[in-house]
Amino acid sequence: MQKRFVYADNAATSPLSKEAFDAMKPWLTEKWGNPSSIYSAARDARKAVEMARADIADSIGAKPEEIYFTSGGTEADNWAIKSSAKAFGKKGRHLITSAIEHHAVSSSMESLTSEGFEITVLPVDKYGMVSPADLEKAIRPDTIFISIMLANNEIGTIQPIEELAEIAKKHNIPFHTDAVQAVGHIPVNVDELKVDMLSMSSHKFGGPQGVGALYIRKGVRIPPLMHGGGHERGRRSGTENVAGVCGMAAALKHAVEIMPEANAHLKHISDRLFDKLLQIPYTQATGHPEKRLPGTVSVVFNYIEGESIILLLDSKGISASSGSACTSGSLDPSHVLLAIGLPHEVAHGSVRLSLGKDITEEDADYIAESLTEVVDRLRTMSPLWKG
Amino acid sequence: MMYSDKVLDHFQNPRNVGEIEDANAVGLVGNAKCGDIMQMFMKIEDDKIVDVKFKTFGCGAAVATSSMATELVLGKTIDEALQLTNRAVMEALDGLPPVKVHCSVLAEQAIRAAISDYYKRQGIDPEPIVGKIEEVDHDHEIACD
Ligand SMILES: Cc1ncc(COP(=O)(O)O)c(C=O)c1O
């Protein structure tokens, strides 16, 4: 087995696409200009930002004036949640979210509890699915906001957002979805999803890091999080990241164009990889068997610990991640793995491989062979393994 | 988070991994729920640790501290081994990231637990010599700290 480099952590961040780089390059070299200034160099920058906005809007079925650029997914989530609480807090103090959200959502929610807001956290089933019936039951007269993610970053499960948002709509409650892992990976249309707000992040689909957007449906009014010079029509101040938004738009346009082909390929490779990994004894797949991101292969190996697996994979040239406590910097494994009902000791042995479109069968086979070897080696030295 | 080269070396090429069939001192510390378990096997003859091996379930630092701890006590007398502190294990590894310091504590405890077992097997109360050892509790909910 010859050593090769396989990057399998695209859910953490993805390599910059050529399309994104080409769109950014002029704005990092021969062109510059503050889009708010009035001379011609600045007008070019303004034009570039507005074209990027229109392209991004188009990719998700939104209108350009419903797209607000941010510094990334984290800011978009913080803004949607904290500003909705502020905007609708007079009507009620109750918010609803799910047990498997990214920390950008769950910690934003938590921050509101000190301001007298009450948060209901909906459970998920063993596949990581939120039940629409649970949402219906959790809604109270004082519920003012709901945030449930579209696709999960650890296990890849895709939620029935249309159904969940429909329930919210029936009760006249604004609905936000963190679509950071979904945009550019599966078809996303804000009207079909019936969401009022949607977060996205450029570096998850081949764009640069540090840029993202919040979609806010026309007619939904939330105050700014960032105050200042009144950029983004007064809703998000700060000089636009011209190169960043151009890269983001080009990356998304490209990702959407190649999506059908890329996803067919990713599904094929993921199936192959799952097949091989599940032959390792005491191994189970996590996430939904069908309703999942096509490039996410998430598994747990019993009797061993995730950080050790990741370090040994790294020494074989493979970049992957784990939801074990050791990799989260705390002593508890990932809240997502606990929410799907895994015992702590099993959740510690998790591995997430998030594949990119250029992955080959040979790469997948190399990952499977390497993991088989690594798991065996760690089990041999584990006091829990009686194999 | 960054591991030193020494930690990575001891993780990737751990010294003294395995079990000792005729061990006369075996210690088990940690908890699977918290993500670390260490088991130490020793052969003690005439007050001297003539062989030592370990098995560890845990992160890179847990493996590396176990490995280093076995190196530091091999060939030592019981008294010398009981002098081993988690700090010494950390220093020998050129340091640990702050969130991993507890792994070195566990390695120190694993050594003490094995020596404690050695005394128990001879009907000697280990506590006055070794101090109190936290028993591994598989049956109760515990908090990881
Ligand atoms: C589901 C989800 N939401 C939000 C974020 C945060 O996005 P960003 O890194 O752009 O701040 C991430 C990525 O880490 C994510 O996976």
DSSP A177-188: EE-TTTTTTS--
Verify that A239 and A331 share a domain, yes or no: no
Is the pLDDT at B141 greater than 60, yes or no? no
Q: Is residue A77 part of a domain?
A: yes
Q: Are residues A168 and A288 in the same domain?
A: no
Burial class (CB in 10 A: 0-12, 13-18, 19+), A60: buried
Indicate whether B97 belongs to any domain: yes
A121 in the same domain as A241 = yes
Q: From the candidates B20, B84, B90, B103, which is the catalytic residue? A: B103
Report if residue A87 sits inside a domain.
yes
pLDDT tens figures, A172-205: 999 999 999 999 999 999 999 999 999 999 999 9
**Does the residue B53 lie in any domain?**
yes
| Angle at alpha carbon of residue B42, lines to B137 and B50, rounded to 5° | 165
**Mean pLDDT (whole number) for A116-143:** 98
Q: What is the maximal distance between C-alpha atoms in chain A?
A: 74
How many structural domains is chain B composed of?
Answer: 1
Which chain A residues are within 8 Å of B16, Cβ to Cβ? none
Quick one: pLDDT at residue B4?
Answer: 97
The radius of gyration of chain B from alpha carbons, rounded to an integer in Å, stands at: 14
Mean pLDDT of A222-231: 96
Q: Kindly state whether residue A378 falls inside one of the protein's structural domains.
A: yes
- Each residue of A334-354: pLDDT tens digit? 999 999 999 999 999 999 999
The pLDDT score that the predictor gives to residue A324 is 78
Among A253, A286, A302, give the residue marking a domain's end: A253
What are φ and ψ of residue A80, in 5° steps?
-55, -45
The long-range contacts involving B6-9, CB below 8 angstroms and separated by at least 24 positions, are B6/B64, B6/B68, B6/B92, B6/B93, B6/B94, B7/B60, B7/B61, B7/B64, B7/B93, B7/B94, B7/B96, B8/A311, B8/B60, B8/B64
Residue pair A159/A122 in contact (Cβ under 8 Å)? The answer is no
Instruction: Give me the pLDDT at residue B134, please.
Output: 72
Tell whether A349 is covered by a domain.
yes
CA of B39 to the centre of ligand 1 (A): 39
Contacts of B33 in chain A (CB under 8 A): 343-345
Q: Could you tell me if A231 and A281 lie in one domain?
A: no
Pick from B34, B56, B102: CB nearest A381: B56
* Mean pLDDT computed over every residue of chain A: 96
In a domain? residue B55: yes
Establish if A1 belongs to a structural domain.
Answer: no
The percentage of residues in chain A with a pLDDT greater than 90, rounded to a whole number, is 96
Q: How far is A184 from chain B (nearest CA, A)?
A: 30
DSSP secondary structure of A235-286: TS-S---HHHHHHHHHHHHHHHHHHHHHHHHHHHHHHHHHHHHTTSSSEEE-
A73 CB less than 6 Å from ligand 1?
yes
Using CA of residue A7, residue A13, residue A19, residue A22, what is the dihedral sign?
negative
**pLDDT bracket for residue B144 (50, 70, 90):** low
pLDDT in tens, B66-75: 999 999 999 9
Q: Give the C-alpha distances (Å, rounded to integers) separating A235 from A59, A110, A173.
A: 22, 24, 21
Q: How far is the CA of A7 from the centre of ligand 1 (A)?
A: 18
3-state secondary structure of A110: helix
pLDDT at B79: 96
| DSSP for residue A47 | H
Within a domain: B50:
yes
B145 falls within a domain:
no
- The confidence score (pLDDT) of residue A342 equals 97
Instruction: Return the pLDDT at A29.
Output: 97
The string of pLDDT tens digits covering residues B65-117 is 999 999 999 999 999 999 999 999 999 999 999 989 999 999 999 999 999 99
Out of B12, B55, B59, the one facing A305 most closely (by C-beta) is: B59
* pLDDT score for B136: 63
**A15-36: average pLDDT:** 96
Residue B143 pLDDT? 61
Residue A170 Cα to chain centre, angstroms? 27
State which of A232, A253, A274 marks the end of a domain: A253
Residues A213 and A313 both lie in one domain: no
Whether the Cβ atoms of residue A273 and residue A8 lie closer than 8 Å to each other: no
Flag whether A203 is in a domain. yes
Q: Say how far apart CA A311 and CA A374 lie, in whole Å.
A: 10
Q: Does residue B68 lie in a domain region?
A: yes
Task: Please tell me the distance from the alpha carbon of residue A364 to that of residue A184, in angstroms, as a whole number.
Answer: 22
pLDDT above 90 (res B135):
no
Look up residue A247 and give its amino acid. Answer: G
If you measure from the C-alpha of residue A160 to the centroid of ligand 1, how many angstroms do you get, rounded to a whole number?
20
- Domain contains B144: no
Residue A182 domain-assigned? yes
Residue B140 pLDDT > 60, yes or no? no
The CA distance from B100 to the nearest CA of chain A, in Å, is: 8
Same domain, A323 and A241: no
User: What's the rounded mean pLDDT across residues B29-53?
Assistant: 95
Region label for A59, one of left (φ > 0), alpha (ψ between -120 and 50) or beta (otherwise): alpha
Q: Is residue A132 classed as helix, strand or coil in its secondary structure?
A: helix
Instruction: Tell me how far apart the alpha carbons of residues A101 and A146 are, in angstroms, rounded to a whole number.
Output: 12
Same domain assignment for residues A238 and A340: no
Instruction: For A6-37, give the DSSP string.
Output: EE-BTTT--PPPHHHHHHHHHHHTT----TTS
Residues in chain A closer than 8 A to B34 (CB atoms): 325, 331, 344
Which residues of A lie inside 8 Å of B (Cβ-Cβ)?
A: 303-305, 307-308, 311-312, 315, 324-327, 329-333, 343-345, 348, 380-385
Which two three-digit tokens encode residue A386?
Answer: 């009686």
**What would the mean pLDDT of B50-62 be, rounded to a whole number?**
97
Please determine, for residue A48, whether its predicted confidence score (pLDDT) is greater than 80.
yes
Q: B32 and A384: CB-CB below 8 Å? A: yes
- Predicted confidence (pLDDT) per residue in A359-369, tens digit: 999 999 999 99
The ipTM estimated for the assembled molecules is: 0.93
Contact between residue B42 and residue B25 where contact means Cβ atoms under 8 Å apart: yes
Q: Is B114 part of a structural domain of the chain?
A: yes
pLDDT score, position A323:
85
| Residue A105 tokens, joined | 């959502």
Structural domains in chain A (count): 2
CATH number at residue A52: 3.40.640.10
Q: How far is A150 from chain B (nearest CA, A)?
A: 30
Predicted local confidence at residue A55, as pLDDT: 98
Largest Cα separation within chain B, whole Å, is: 45
pLDDT digits (tens, 9 = 90+) for A142-178: 999 999 999 999 999 999 999 999 999 999 999 999 9
A200, A225, A253 — which closes off a domain?
A253
Q: Rounded mean pLDDT of A294-303?
A: 98
Summarised one tens digit per residue, pLDDT across range A328-339 is 556 678 999 999
* Residue span of the structural domain in which A233 resides: 18-253
Tell me the residue range of the domain where B41 lies: 5-136
Closest in A327, A332, A345 to B32, CB measured:
A345
User: Which CATH number belongs to the domain containing residue A335 in this structure?
Assistant: 3.90.1150.10
Give me the pLDDT at residue A333, please.
87
Residue A247 has a pLDDT of 98
Over range B23-44, report the average pLDDT.
Answer: 94
Residue B69 sits in a domain of what CATH number?
Answer: 3.90.1010.10
Q: Round to whole Å and give the CA distance between A361 and A247.
A: 29
Average pLDDT over residues B29-50: 94
**Least confident piece of the model among A35-44, A64-73, A188-197:** A35-44
B32 confidence band (pLDDT: 50, 70, 90): confident
Residues A220 and A342 occupy one common structural domain: no
